[in-house]
Chain A
Amino acid sequence: MVRLNLILLVVLAACALGLVTSQHQARRFFGELEQEQERSRQLGVEYGQLQLEASTWAVHARVERIASRQLHMRVPEAKHLQIARPEEAAK
């Protein structure tokens, strides 16, 4: 009887310690999850800002300005144009 009680006591203590460690772990994991979620939010914000920046750099007026002033690009004249029609290409 006494031996059984002692064994049960040991089992109980083991269970209790197990509970404590798993609870601790759960909290630690939760903390990590929180951090990762925060990071994902931050990255989302950064993505938005980068998108904004990309759109700002790619504004058509700016692209056009650079194309015509810096790169000296222009629309070709009529005599330099040759239209390739799909039906002709098929022949």
Chain B
Amino acid sequence: MNFAASPVLELTLPVWRSRFLLYVFVAGFGLLLGRAVYLQGLNNDFLQAKGESRYSRVMEVPANRGRILDRNGEALAISTPVKSIWAIPGETHPGKRQLARLAALLDMPQGEIEKRLADTGRDFVFIKRQISPEVAERVAALHIPGLFQNREYRRYYPSGDVMAHVLGFTGADDIGQEGVELAYQERLAGKPGSRRVIKDRLGQTVEDVESIKAAQDGNDLTLALDARIQNLAFSQLKAAVAQNRAKAGAVVVLDVDTGELLALANFPTYNPNNRSKLAGAQLRNRAVTDTFEPGSTLKPFTIALALEAGRVKPESVIQIAPGTLSISGATIRDAHVERSLTVAQVIQKSSNVGAAKIALGLPAEAMWEMFRDVGFGATPGLGFPGEAAGKVRPYRSWRPIEQATMSYGHGISVSLVQLARAYSVFARDGELIPLSLSRMDAPPVGRRVMAPKTAAAVRAMLEMVVNRDGTAPRAQIMGYRVAGKTGTAHKQENGGYAPDKYVSSFVGFAPASHPRLVVAVMIDEPSAGRYYGGIVAAPVFAQIMAGALRALDVVPDGPMRPIELPPEGQEVKESV
């Protein structure tokens, strides 16, 4: 029987049945089509995301923190990648031997690691941060499940404790915490970026899809600091603090032409690479954040004001005998009694009586203005965190005795940086310039606070301080003419002056014929028996100044003959 003759074909079914089936199929297709359009065209986000998550990954692009360089390009702070080890406590179950090996590698007690892993309530716990890449590799080789590594940065400071206070340091997350690192955080910090890539099943990147955010390395920062001078300043300061058995000390070196900070050293200090045993005293940047009563180093400003006002001339004679001056019950004394002194000799021999007598002839308001004009009582504007402004009380509340003591630097407080900056006024023919932490390309514009003639006259007086008959013959440098002033002040303690605690200082500049550098030295509580600024601080000044001038190739302006010192014990004693 052939097919055409099949009796089944003879059957006639009702037409609606085939129609019905047709409609069902058409409706089915329509449904599928609609769903397809819906999923692929109208509401495709979900599936697209699911699909992409199978092959596309967002990768972080790390960015470096900028380096800190000295003015000659020497690296002072560099970040380099290190690893941190972290774990998911609930999933980390190292074996006994693995744990012992891990503890040995990380140089941690085994119990400490166990304690951290016992905290199963958390999903993330650091085991140790900032370990070297070599150690990290050996940790990875232990293959402990649940233990992971992260890349992070660690900052290294090759110069160690020498520049600790200038540079400061960064925390574990490479964020500045102190010093320049904090002050220039914005500029130094890198901004990590991210990009989207396609990975194959082996985890290799096969295609770059898009850059979501470009990584930006931090900018390098070139400081005004000169590493040679800084090192010299630090080593001399350290030696002086040890020799005088002092509590602390600080040194500031400024460039007269540009106002750049060439060196800033403090002692005690710390090693920024290893900060495990850090005390507050070590951390303090004394030259910037601490103020002290400067003592006689302030006399030149009083004299300058008197010269400026035309009250006195350098050769005017001031009556000193009997060496004391009583004002409303209080007595001002001179350590070294003379019958009379010229104004220049008042500076040279540092006479308190002379300075007080000159000051009492001046209006309080003018003195106050002079102090403000040379930068006292206002932050020096270096940009360091925690810069101290010092204290200059408003002149309306001054009593005559206070005005007299202020003339020789008591009842007023300044920081060492302020003092150095104020002396640059004499060195710059009467101009006050802004200071700078970073290297400058062009000298800044100064503000005139004193006539050039006055500044020159005070310079000549300051030069007399360092000769044989002055208070600081030890500040002399062979080959250069030096000008400066000693300061010796009782320290304030519990509202009064401590009889046996002193702050010794010396501020000066050289070469006197055309000043290049200002160096300020402060030694806090020298307790080896000698405390005069001319004996304690002046030699430190001379050593630093001599080395710095040589390092900068400054042409000598003085005679090349050995320095003459007065016989031991016959130095002019300054009034305290």
Task: Output the least CB separation between B565 and chain A (Å).
Answer: 14
B361 located at the interface, meaning its Cβ lies under 8 Å from any Cβ of chain A in the complex = no
Q: With an 8 A cutoff between CB atoms, is B139 at the interface? A: no
Chain A proximity of B71: nearest CB distance (Å): 14
B227 at the interface (CB under 8 A from A): yes
B94 within 8 A of A: no
On whether A85 and B231 interact (CB within 8 A), knowing A51-B78, A78-B561, the answer reads no
Chain B: minimal CB distance from A34 (Å): 5
With A51-B78, A78-B560, A85-B555 as contacts: A59 and B159 at CB distance below 8 Å: yes
Provide the bound-state CA to CA distance between A44 and B204, in Å.
Answer: 22
Interface residues of A in 23-80 (CB under 8 A from B): 26-27, 30-31, 34, 44-45, 48-49, 51-52, 54-56, 58-61, 64, 78-79
B227 touches A52 (CB 8 A): no
B78 CB, nearest partner CB in chain A, Å: 5
B162 lies within 8 A of A30 (CB): no
- B92 sits at the interface (CB 8 A): no
A26 to B74, CA, bound (A): 43
Q: Give Cα A51 to B68, complex, Å.
A: 12
**Are A48 and B231 interface neighbours, CB within 8 A?**
no
Whether the pair B158, A34 counts as a contact (CB closer than 8 A) is no
* Given A30-B206, A31-B206, A85-B555: A55 touches B80 (CB 8 Å cut-off): no
Are B158's CB and A52's CB within 8 A? Answer: yes
Q: Is the CB of B560 within 8 A of A83?
A: yes
- 0/1 per residue, A5-38, Cβ < 8 Å to B? 0000000000000000000001100110010000
User: CB within 8 A of B207: which of A30, A44, A58, A59?
Assistant: A30
Q: Is the CB of B206 within 8 A of A27?
A: yes
Report whether B159 and A48 are in contact in the complex, using a CB–CB cutoff of 8 Å.
Answer: no
B231/A61 in contact, CB under 8 A? yes
Tell me whether A83 and B556 are in contact in the complex, defined as CB-CB below 8 angstroms, given that A30-B208, A48-B80 are known contacts. Answer: yes
Complex partner residue of B80 from A34, A45, A61, CB under 8 angstroms = A45
Which of A26, A64, A78 has most chain B Cβ within 10 Å? A78
Main secondary structure of the interface of A (DSSP, over half): helix
Cross-chain contact B560 with A61 (CB below 8 angstroms) = no
Per-residue 0/1 for B157-168: is the Cβ within 8 Å of any A Cβ (1 yes, 0 no)? Answer: 011101000000
Task: A54 to B560: give the CA distance in the assembly, Å.
Answer: 37
Asked whether any CB of chain A lies closer than 8 Å to the CB of B333, the reply is: no
**A90 within 8 A of partner (CB):** no
- Shortest CB–CB separation between residue B69 and chain A, in angstroms? 10
B92 to chain A, nearest CB (A): 29
Chain B residues near A55: list those with CB within 8 A. Answer: 74-76, 78, 158-159
Report Cα–Cα, A45/B154, bound state, in Å.
12
Please give the residue numbers on chain A whose beta carbons come within 8 Å of chain B beta carbons, in ascending order.
26-27, 30-31, 34, 44-45, 48-49, 51-52, 54-56, 58-61, 64, 78-79, 81, 83, 85-86
Which B residues are closer than 8 A to A by beta carbons?
A: 64, 67, 74-76, 78-81, 156, 158-160, 162, 204-208, 227-228, 231-232, 235, 478-479, 555-556, 560-562
